[in-house]
Structure 1
Amino acid sequence: MRWWLQTMARAVERRPGITLTFLAVMTVVLGGFAAGQTTDTELTSFAPDSELADAFDRIQEDFATGGARVQVVVDAGPGGNVLDPAGIEAAEQVEAVVRASDTPLADGPRGVASFAAAVQADGVSPAAASLLSRDLDPATATARAGLVVVELDPALPDADAQEATLELAEQLEVVDVAGIDVDPFGTAILSDALQAESEDEMPRLLSLSLFLIVAILFLQFRTVSDVVLGFVGLIVTITWMFGFAVVLGPDNLGLVGNFTQISTIVPVLLIGLGIDYAIHLTSRYREEQRHGLTPPDAAAMAVRTVGGALVLATLTTVVGFLTNLVSPLPPIADFGVFTAVGVTSALVVMTLLVPSARRLLDDRPRALARATRRRRRERSGTNGLAAFMGRTAAVAERAPRLTLAIALVVTVVAGGAGSQIETSFSQDDFVPADSEPGMLIDKLDTLFGGDLSESTFVLIDGDVTDAELAGAIAEAPELLAGVEDVRAQGGAAQVSRLPDTGPDVAALMIATTAGQDRAEALAGDLDAALAPIRDAGGSTTVVSESLVLDETLDALTASQTQGIAITLLGALTLLIAYFGVVERKPLLGAITMVPSIAVVGWVLGTMVLLDISFNVLTAMVASLAIGIGVPFGIHVTHRFMEDRRRYDTIDEAIRQTVTHTGGAMAGSAATTAAGFGVLAFASLLPMQQFGIIVAVTIVYSLLASVLIQPSCLKLWGEWRVRRGEQAELHEHEERRVLEPVG
């Protein structure tokens, strides 16, 4: 690591122009790749690798489950009757548009099934009843809403089916009947709407995040060039992350999947984390200038001193996020990779960009004059934020044991409460309730009891050519007729046998209305009702998309404790090894981890207090608490060891550490909290909760780093002094006089 820092320091000191050119070329190349970034909104991408998920894949890949379906809701509104002439006219217009279009339809009556076509002169037929809302009154032939179900040609590739669905939805906009609402709905329509929502929302969140960060940076630095450099560094970092994500993605190296709805928060995350590097480098550069160093020397010194802490912070942050690789959910594992790549990019970009640019900007005569005037102003004391943070050192100086005792009690109580956190995973959370698809889903649930295209499958393994087993399979509609949440028509369940793909396997497709809430109960009922098939020699596996999502929830729950333990152990091992090898003081690694361990307990307790459950986003809070908190701890320990060598007493070293590093961390915490906090304005509930809890985590990490860790370091330092240890200056260091605080 020392060699790498020396190389970086020489680059920014001697060849800043070449260094900036290198960054520009890399940004252009990776920007070209970044242009190909796409987002996958399919919720089945969260499915873990399991027998149930494999069975669902077999159904989808080996059997012709039918083409993509579009459900066109024809709604007469509250108090209206879709069976009146206006409703029938609207349904006929829908069917006419579908048949006049170029949309490839399934053969026969499956192509278009309309409630209007099944209405008879003497009443409502069973076929029409299955396509009418639950408030249907057969006696008076009244119902608020009906469906026209369009099924596309099953032979269409997924991409073509999606395009055809979207084109059909656009063509249906011409249907216009007074008093009747016509709304097409389908998987492709939902995915397209969510994609558009994400593309509209992310720039808004990024813009708000960047605005807050720029404002905070300006208040801290009060120099436009420092703010611009931090801003440019963030743009370059995000460009690199997107570029590397595409290079690693399925269209190139195939090591990760596409971006998902979870991954879209990575840019916001990088704004918060990446600016931390710019703040620490700039603060240290200004400090070295205040002590009389020229711009080239100050730039090199900032890299040599702060750079070591940044590298170690990056390593532990990467470890924290890469622990998501053990998650059984692919999008969470990919999220860890994308974030790790982004944080590493931030280290390289900021460590080269900020000192190199400052070295060129401040080496001009006019800039040198300004630096001299600024140095004279600042020699009388530190800035307001640093001075305020310096005063908190009194807690560690005067009552370290009491501070640690209080922290221990709070951590134990909060951690105990955190053990009661519930876990939730609902696909509805990823559809904004106030969006058009969200409101349409609610309408389908209210009027029809859910999505009428919902299907539950039964995979049957065995000799399906055997007469007894074939007979049992043929009786499935009667066997399932009385099962709750199974759609029935004419006294028999709506069950169809999918075309066989071989003599040893068969599959049934059942029309159901269980949704995700009752999917598991439905599976149990179906399994019990299908006992005659098993008695005849077949084995049955009940599977559906909702069951796979339920299994995802179980996998998410099981991975929580494992993820927290692996994250803590990985970061602790890395820190103990580093401080043991570099400083010959492995105990410092454990001390550096103390605040993060406390923060994990505090955050879990706060989640219980705020009634926030574990979901696919908040499940990563443990790795985030460590990924964000450990860098704070590293900065404190790294600076304390330096100040311990430069100043006469432990208290002086603690005070200077909390003043300078604490001030930089406070600015960093403010910008990072702002970066994450804007997610509270996201349209998706999981993102809102994620933004809130991460902002809380950052505040807790700052408090723990300036209160708990200095207390630990004071006790450790005094213990080392009692043992007769004397700290010796490193080669590039010099003794300093204690600076006034305030």
Structure 2
Amino acid sequence: MLRRALQRSTDFVTKHNRIVLLVMVLLTAGVLAGIPQIDMASQAGGTTDQFQGIDRVEKSQYIQNNYTADTQRSNRSVRAVYVRDDGGNVLSKESLLAGLRYQQSVRDNESVAAALHGDGIVGLSNLVATRAAGDRGATLSEQIRALERASASEVERLVERTLSDDPRAARFLPADHDQGSAAATDRRMLVTLDTRTADETRDAAGTALYDASEKRQSAGFFVVNADAWADYRQHFFGEMVELVLPVALLLVLLVLAFAYRDLVDVVVGMSGVLLSVLWMFGLLGWLGVEAGTMSIVPVVLITGLSIDFGFHVFNRYREQRGEDEGIREPMSRGVRLVATALVLVTVTAAIGFMANVANPLPVIRDLGITITLGVVSALVLFATVVPALKISIDGVLERVGIDRRKQPLGHGRYLRPVLGGSVTLARRAAPVVLVVAVLVGAAGGVAWASLDKESYQQSDGDVAEWKQQLPGPVGWETGDVPGQSAHIDEVYQPASAADAFQSQILVEDDVTSDGTLEDVAAGVQRIEDEGVLIDQPGTQAVRSPVTAMQAVARQNDDFAAAFQRADTNGNGVPDTDLESLYDAFYAANPDVASQVLERTDGEYRSLLVTMALNGDYSEATDVVPELEDGAAVMEGEGARTATAAGGLSVQTAVLDEIVGGIIMTMVVALAAVVLTLTLVFRYMHGSATLGAVVSVPIVLVVGLVIGGMYLLGIPLTLLTALLMSLVIGMGVDYNIHVGDRFADELRAGKPPIAALQAAVTGTGGALLGSTLTSAGAFATISLVPQAQLQSFGAIVVIALVTAFLASVLVLPSLLLLWSRYSGVETPTPDSTADPMPQD
């Protein structure tokens, strides 16, 4: 039934090509009307609700539901303005004066003045200038005049005294700065905004800080905030389009010119490619699927897959057209012969891509849906528009005397022997080929356990010099923000506890037993000894029941007495009668107590320790084990449970969950592909086992991709781990084309060796062209100086190349062994006969 339906539709397209083109033009206009409706706000992150079942995620949600926020901290937000001069001294008179004048200019801004907290703007320049003025309360104008009057040597002495006498000075300098030195290449000033002002006002203030720093770039000023990142992303996207797309397009056109050796076919094929991409975006708009910064990935992938479809349509048409034949009949036969394979490729690829719909990260779900829509669009267009357009153009050209017969790729005197060599290899050493393939694939699979795991790959913004030296608009102009951000993370600690990455440890169960708080304090000390907490003068890196009680005790004499009674050994940590102490704590200051102790129905169920970390997501794999060690100490002898549940811990747990589940995802996707091929080959070609044999090399491709990741040092991240299932969608493509062609040739009456020769040299030629264009297009992604995109491009290139090699080197041996041991007999050519003996 399916074969007859495909035949009828193909016959209609080839006989009524003008009607088909008219209908498809109207349909394309309707589809493309969805493009303006595309939502470009796709987010890469997920929410905790999407990861239920992970202990740390559930504990994080528990903390949000059962603990109140620290309102004292929440009324201020610290923004940093940086000054950097690698070849100079940012503690010189000129640089410090520039800092004061920067403050003066931003204070004149209405948004900054409205959003500024009482703590104001403070930097090392203020500490030095107030000394120069002899008045700690000197106004900003007085500070500027005092510093202007001082000589350079006097300012140097003032800097030295400030660094040695004022502990606040360390907050404005790199963590490793020598406090005895009056010279530095980096410093910062801190701007404190009041979070009680409107969000729009604070955003406008941040923009003013950024704009003022941009005007002082020559003096080394810069700000890394939302405005800086927004400008960088816009710049990055423009550079990516100008560099990657021209190179990818040039490479694709060169390969198409080599493969087709015909300008008309190149134009027709590229028309189908362009329409496939446009249809994909139009369908995204109509369906409301989000598209974000990763949209370059499906564009390149669909470009490669649609070019693959074009190769097969054109190549089979060229093979089918005889010397005295017209255009319509061979095109009809050619499309009918590849239609089954194209449908199978679409279905199985969609299985691999749509497996990501169950993934918790929105960007991955959107990628799976987007690519699937693109593959379906390519199938529709290359089964209708491309053949109809090809017939129309070739018909016109032949009517004016231009012969449109062309040799198919793979049948030339150079390429045919190369591709045919795999058949010779299969005939002589098929068992050896399979053994080698199994060993190589298994070695790659074993490398899975050795892959590095990172929460994400951080880019430092470095761009190869040759990319910057390319002529004209394709030359990459570097953006400073990633490098500045990486430099800040390297040399500075967070400006305050509120600006640092926060990590919570939730202690549950018997939290009123003697020794609980001492175990908690010991666990905190263990973490602090490992150097993962911020260490800033005047900044409290830890908020725990002990530190909160100590703060309240300093203000409440009654509670101070209760605190001392509970501290029997005088070490500052209560160790007995804790339930009574907790009651007194709640009575003295319930707001503070509710931030560190959970009391429900009069029962104390948990306590919370919050720490400000000197680290970020890129360091999660190093920091989280230290937090877990501290949590283990807090558990004491096992009477309690302690769980690290901060952002770094949650992300690490999510990564572990995804990496642990990706194998199951790939197994399910592989099983679905095998089942689909088995059923379709049984129905279309009369052999279920042939479908199973065709699907076997996919496992080899997966193993080789894993091995390639290991050799290239590509880590498992949230993105690369989840995208592994895409490998299945790409890896199955080439095998289906070779297997389907082999079955067609057997049905046509050829013996197995001849059928295999026709499949490998005919279809293999199209596969080679497809591999060169698709892999080349994705290889251009490596031009983008962004680690995640480079890793993704590398994985896809490895998948495409290994899938091609598996289809022309390994699959022929499998097919030959299948033909020997499945009892295949050469049938008499008859289109009405059963296509293959029953299994």
| TM-score normalised over the length of structure 1 | 0.83
In structure 1, distance between residues paired with 2:490 and 2:533 = 17
1:455 to 501, 518, 539: 501
What CA distance in whole angstroms lies between the structure 1 residues aligned with 2:653 and 2:230? Answer: 22
CA distance in 2, matches of 1:67, 1:25: 57
Structure 2 residue aligned with 1:259: 292
Moved more, 641-650 or 359-368: 359-368
Q: Identify if the C-alpha distance between structure 1 residues 162 and 30 changes in structure 2 by more than 3 Å, giving closer, same or farther.
A: farther
Aligned to 1:172: 213
- Distance in 2 between the 1:195 and 1:500 partners? 48
CA distance in 2, matches of 1:509, 1:107: 27
Q: CA deviation at 1:309?
A: 0.5
CA displacement at 1:31 relative to structure 2: 3.8
CA drift at 1:11: 4.2
Please say which of residues 444-453 and 49-58 is displaced more in the overlay: 49-58
- Who is 1:486 aligned against? 533
Contact 2:679 2:691 in 1 (8 A): yes
How is 1:197-596 mapped onto 2 (pairs within 5 angstroms)? 197-248=236-287, 252=288, 257-261=290-294, 263-290=295-322, 292-364=324-396, 366=398, 369-371=401-403, 374=405, 384-386=414-416, 388-429=418-459, 435-449=479-493, 453-456=499-502, 458=504, 484-488=531-535, 493-494=540-541, 511-516=612-617, 517=619, 518-521=622-625, 523-524=627-628, 543-596=645-698
The 8 Å contact of residues 216 and 667 in structure 1, kept in 2 or not, is answered as: yes
Change (3 A) 1:410 1:720: same
For structure 1, list consecutive stretches of 5 or more residues without a partner in the other structure: 735-742
Range that drifts further, 661-670 or 643-652: 643-652
Secondary structure at 2:790's aligned position in 1?
A: helix
Deviation digits for residues 445-494 of structure 1 (CA, Å, limit 9, x no counterpart)? 343146763231549899xxx9xxxx99xx99x99996644335556615
Q: Which of structures 1 and 2 has the bigger CA Rg?
A: 2
**Paired position in structure 2 for 1:8:** 9
Match of 2:80 in 1: 71
In the other structure, the counterpart of 2:769 is: 667
CA distance in structure 2 between the aligned counterparts of 1:241 and 1:631, rounded to whole angstroms: 19
Give the letter for the 2:247 counterpart: L
Q: Tell me the distance in 1 between the aligned counterparts of 2:77 and 2:458.
A: 21
SS in 2 for 1:70: strand
Match of 2:98 in 1: 90
Which residue of structure 1 lines up, in the alignment, with residue 813 of structure 2? 711
Residues in 2 aligned to 1:301 and 1:225: alpha-carbon distance in whole angstroms: 21
> Cα 1:443–1:202, aligned 2, differ >3 Å: closer, same or farther?
same
Quick check: 2:315–2:766 contact (8 Å CA) kept in 1?
yes
- Offset of residue 73 of structure 1: 0.4
What's the counterpart of residue 740 of structure 1?
A: none
Provide closer, same or farther for how the CA distance between residues 95 and 552 of structure 1 changes in structure 2, counting only shifts above 3 A: farther
| Equivalent pair of 1:682/1:688 in contact (CA under 8 Å) | yes
1:508 is displaced (CA, Å) by: 8.4
Moved more, 272-281 or 397-406: 397-406
CA RMSD of aligned residues (A): 4.3
Letter in 2 for 1:437: V
| Counterpart for residue 730 of structure 1 | 831
Give the drift of 1:560.
3.0
Tell me what 2:221 maps to: 182
Q: Distance in 1 between matches of 2:700 and 2:312?
A: 24
Matched, 1:49 2:35: no
Say if 2:500 and 2:612, in contact at 8 Å, map to a contact too.
yes
Say whether 1:114 aligns with 2:123. Answer: yes
Q: Please give the secondary structure, in 1, of the residue aligned with 2:666.
A: helix
- The structure 1 residue matched to 2:787, chosen from 674, 681, 685, is 685
Is residue 2:740 matched to residue 1:638? Answer: yes
| CA shift for structure 1 position 72 | 0.9
> What TM-score do the two structures reach when normalised by structure 2?
0.74
Q: Bigger CA drift: 440-449 or 48-57?
A: 48-57
Moved more, 522-531 or 73-82: 522-531
Equivalent residue number for residue 20 of structure 2: 19
Secondary structure in 1 aligned to 2:191? strand
| 1:117 positional shift | 3.2
2:402 aligned counterpart, secondary structure: helix
Instruction: Note if contact 2:304-2:777 (Cα within 8 Å) is conserved in structure 1.
Output: yes
Structure 1 pair 287–361 and aligned structure 2 pair: CA distance change class (3 A): same
Distance 1:42 1:320, change over 3 A: closer
**Aligned partners of 1:53, 1:40: CA distance in 2, in Å?**
25
Q: In the TM superposition, what is the alpha-carbon distance from 1:601 to its structure 2 partner? A: 2.1
Greater Cα offset, 608-617 or 677-686: 608-617
User: Is this contact kept in 2: 1:38–1:258, CA < 8 A?
Assistant: yes
Residues in 1 aligned to 2:656 and 2:783: alpha-carbon distance in whole angstroms: 29
Q: Is the 8 A contact 2:461 2:483 kept in 1?
A: no
Q: 1:306 to 1:530 in 2, by over 3 A?
A: same
Contact 2:462 2:785 survives alignment (8 Å): yes
Instruction: Give % identity.
Output: 24
Aligned length, in residue pairs: 713
Letter in 1 for 2:10: A
